[in-house]
Amino acid sequence: MPGIKQLLDTAQYAAIEAGKAIMQVYVAGEFSIEKKEDESPLTIADRNAHRVITECLGNTNLPILSEEGINIDYAERKNWEYFWMIDPLDGTRELINKVNEFTVNIALVRGDTAIAGVVYLPGKDVLYYGSKETGVYKIEMGVSRQILPLPARTQFDDLRQKERLTIVASRSHLTSETKDFIDQFQNVTLKSSGSSLKFMMLLENRADIYPRLGRTMEWDTAAAHAILNASNRGVYLLHLKSELSYNKPDLANPFFVAF
């Protein structure tokens, strides 16, 4: 198997090429909207991005688990040592509503842990990528800069004691449970964002915490989770004793909080 850096290079290329396919649809404004079983929207942009990414990643000879791919039985995938987990277009609602906050998410997973990730914002040509082996970087308009990890992980009690806290939440999925979680803090500034950009707001210290007490799937979080871990941040289960894991029999995530 190629090294982590080489795999990340391939994933970056795949994300950028998928972004081009998405932007063609975005500019044309002809989305051909369908409804999936869970009533979430599916567009031709989702399908095109999936096709581009799977073609680009094919040469790595690693299995691919995609939101827009075929269902793969756990009996088969439980034996995978390494695999790609992709969300070809995270934020389809944002795309349809012409809100420029949709992303391409590509994660490399080892066992049950996301170890490397790429998050690409095609509408603004901003790309985040990283792993513990390579470090974390942001490339914006062709200019790359490293984002250094925190010297130590933030503790939840540290957040409770902050005089002012910035919380980022989903624009389209702000559940009553999430509102109750937010209410435990004083002097809160609430920000909203679409797709996996909420995690990147934590990465760039534009928000302190991201609670998600609502439905998500593994491909919604894996790429950003790997990047946050590489920056000494975490995506924790609500009991705060462990983090999200991947390639479960049921690919739905439990509720989580990231900081």
Strands 34-35 and 256-258 come out as unpaired
Greatest distance between any 2 Cα atoms in the chain: 51
> Residue 49: which domain range?
4-147
Q: What is the pLDDT of residue 171?
A: 65
Domain identity same for 245 and 142? no
> Rounded CA gap, 196 and 139, in Å?
16
Domain identity same for 12 and 136? yes
The last residue of a domain, from among 118, 147, 176: 147
Q: What is the pLDDT of residue 88?
A: 97
Neighbours of 127 (CB within 10 A): 22
Q: Rounded to an integer, what is the distance from CA 212 to the centroid of its chain?
A: 13
Domain CATH number, residue 24: 3.30.540.10
Domain identity same for 228 and 167? yes
Domain identity same for 77 and 59? yes
> Rounded CA gap, 34 and 32, in Å?
7
Structural domain count, the chain: 2
Q: What is the pLDDT of residue 39?
A: 63
Regarding pTM above 0.85, the answer is yes
Neighbours of 58 (CB within 10 A): 12
> Rounded CA gap, 21 and 123, in Å?
11
Domain identity same for 194 and 246? yes
The last residue of a domain, from among 122, 147, 172: 147
Q: What is the pLDDT of residue 36?
A: 74
Domain identity same for 50 and 118? yes
Tell me the mean pLDDT per 10 residues along the chain, length 259. 94 98 91 74 90 97 94 96 97 87 97 98 97 98 96 96 92 82 93 93 98 95 98 97 98 98
Domain identity same for 82 and 118? yes
- Residue 85, classed as helix, strand or coil, is strand
Domain identity same for 192 and 104? no
> Rounded CA gap, 182 and 161, in Å?
14
Q: DSSP secondary structure string, 95-149?
A: HHTT-S--EEEEEEEETTEEEEEEEEETTTTEEEEEETTTEEEEEETTEEEEEPP
Q: Tens digit of pLDDT for each residue in 48-74? A: 999 999 999 999 999 999 999 989 999
Domain identity same for 165 and 140? no
